[in-house]
Amino acid sequence: MTESTEKVENICDARRRILNIAVSTVLLETGFDAADKVSLETLTEMIQCFITEVGNSARGYCELAGRVEPVLGDVSMALINMGISLQGIEQYAARPSRHIIQPPQQASVPRTPSMLSAGSKAKPAPHIPFHLPPLPDPHAYIRTPTHKQPVTEYEAIREKAATQKRDIERALTKFLSKTSETHNLFNTEDNQVYPLIACKPTFPSYLPALLPTDQVFDFDELEYHFQVANRTEDMPADKKENSDNEGDNGGDNENANNSQSETQDAPLGSSPDRNKSGG
């Protein structure tokens, strides 16, 4: 936000400066050697107000005449309406002693962020008049095809997901091994390199092993998958739908939630084919 307002101010500043120069030039022409800052500002303010007024008024006339863009006549009318004589204005403009203000440097146009374009724009149908604006991107009114990621992308994403997962696991186990008792694999005193978290007996010992927590499964989902989805293997379309649905909540693995959301899109593009060959 702040950035954009700044830009607006900059633009205003530039215009104001030009006006300032213009006023100063006229003053010089008239014979002043110096001017107070305040008076200069006042004069600038005045001329700005004047120009604004002329512009507004000219637009009024233009619109009144049913046009979109003002023409010279509109400006003349505005000036006349304000009681300003147009007499000699041409001569004045062409006076020999006039100073020419350097045109302001073209401010680099701030780049408007390019629209996210997806797909190729459709050609307008023949019945649509040519002057109407072009059709928007197809995703705005048909659907969004996600594009097949380039080959290297998949690899990178898998790589990233794997690294993230590993980092999280490593951090977790490292933390735990620092904060709990450890076994040492070596005969040395310090146990920094390959510490093994000591095992603690649990009672009853079978519970954690039979009800594992390493992965969270939605058992109803699985039930559905094996009981219903698996029975209709001969209907690949169905199956595809299934597997797509389940992709969203088919159980999240360890702490790698972040990485998952990233990987989600990538493999889907090619997965249906592979699912078929795999299933």
**Interface with other proteins (CB under 8 A), residue from 13, 53, 223, 241:** 223
Instruction: Provide DSSP, 189-226.
Output: S---SS-EEPP---SSTHHHHHS--SB---HHHHHHHH
Residue for token pair 């992709």: 247
211 binds other proteins (CB under 8 A): yes
179 binds other proteins (CB under 8 A): no
Evaluate whether 43 touches 30 at the Cβ level (below 8 Å): no
**Interface with other proteins (CB under 8 A), residue from 86, 251, 265, 272:** 251
171 binds other proteins (CB under 8 A): no
Say how many Å lie between the first and final Cα of the chain, rounded. Answer: 52
245 binds other proteins (CB under 8 A): no
Cβ-based nearer residue to other proteins, 10 or 202: 202
114 binds other proteins (CB under 8 A): no
Contacts of 176 (CB under 8 A, 6+ apart): 197
209 binds other proteins (CB under 8 A): yes
Evaluate whether 65 touches 74 at the Cβ level (below 8 Å): yes
236 binds other proteins (CB under 8 A): no
Residue 245: CB minimum distance to other proteins, A: 12
48 binds other proteins (CB under 8 A): no
Exposed / middle / buried, residue 58 (Cβ in 10 Å: 0-12, 13-18, 19+): buried
Residue 221: CB minimum distance to other proteins, A: 8
Distance CA 9, CA 30 (A): 31
235 binds other proteins (CB under 8 A): no
Site for other proteins in 124-163 (CB under 8 A): 151, 154-155, 158-159, 161-162
173 binds other proteins (CB under 8 A): yes
**Interface with other proteins (CB under 8 A), residue from 196, 232, 235, 238:** 196
219 binds other proteins (CB under 8 A): yes
Question: Measuring CA to CA, which residue among 211, 213, 272, 230 is closest to residue 247?
Answer: 272
Residue type present at position 241: E
228 binds other proteins (CB under 8 A): no
Residue type present at position 251: G
Evaluate whether 82 touches 57 at the Cβ level (below 8 Å): yes
1 binds other proteins (CB under 8 A): no
Question: Measuring CA to CA, which residue among 171, 164, 169, 143 is closest to residue 263?
Answer: 164
Residue 151: CB minimum distance to other proteins, A: 5
Cβ-based nearer residue to other proteins, 106 or 188: 188
Evaluate whether 225 touches 245 at the Cβ level (below 8 Å): no
Q: Which residues bind other proteins (CB under 8 A)?
A: 151, 154-155, 158-159, 161-162, 165-166, 169-170, 172-173, 176-177, 183-188, 193-215, 217, 219, 222-223, 225-226, 246-247, 250-254, 256, 260, 263, 267, 270, 273-275, 278-279
